[in-house]
């Protein structure tokens, strides 16, 4: 995983405010690095074969929503810099998944329209 770029004090303030907003909504403190790590772990699981259920997958996939929420709460210049770190993971995720016509949950982001190419029989039964 690529590291976050060096941020100015002002950028750190914007990022911290966005992370506080996510924490207030979820009820759990969060760091951008922790979100990235969780996304990276899911991307890895998806690319080697997702062994858990559809329920677990939708729960795991929600981390990408949290990243997106942070990205939408920071200024465009900072968003662009953070997206440089997230984009390679998103690309790997898309490579390891296949598209669906309808989202797994009523969400609009593209990752909700994708399921792992390699998945457990239990996952397939859930679909």
- Locate the domains of the chain by residue range: 33-126
Q: Taking all residues of the chain, what is their mean pLDDT, rounded to a whole number?
A: 95
Overall average pLDDT of the 75-98 stretch: 97
The answer to whether the CB of 104 falls within 8 A of the CB of 61 is yes
The secondary structure of residue 96, as a DSSP letter, is T
Residue 83 CA to residue 99 CA, distance in Å, equals 22
Which helix (H) or strand (E) is 113 found in, with range?
Answer: none
Q: What is the pLDDT of residues 87-110, one digit of tens each?
A: 999 999 999 999 999 999 998 899
Q: What is the pLDDT of residues 6-34, one digit of tens each?
A: 999 999 999 999 999 999 999 999 999 99
3-state secondary structure of 91: helix
Give me the half-sphere count of Cα atoms (radius 13 Å) on the Cβ side of residue 110.
Answer: 7
Residue position matching structure tokens 């939708």: 58
């Amino acid at each position: 995983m690529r590291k976050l770029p060096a941020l100015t004090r002002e950028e750190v303030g914007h990022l911290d405010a966005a992370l506080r907003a996510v924490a207030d909504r979820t009820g759990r403190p969060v760091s951008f690095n922790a979100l990235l790590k969780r996304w990276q772990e899911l991307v890895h699981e998806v690319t080697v074969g997702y062994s858990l259920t559809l329920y677990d997958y939708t729960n795991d996939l929600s981390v990408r929503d949290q990243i997106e929420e942070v990205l939408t709460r920071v200024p465009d210049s900072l968003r662009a810099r953070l997206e440089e770190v997230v984009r390679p993971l998103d690309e790997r995720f898309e490579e390891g998944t296949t598209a669906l016509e309808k989202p797994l949950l009523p969400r609009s982001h593209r990752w909700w329209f994708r399921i792992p190419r390699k998945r457990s029989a239990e996952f397939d039964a859930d679909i």
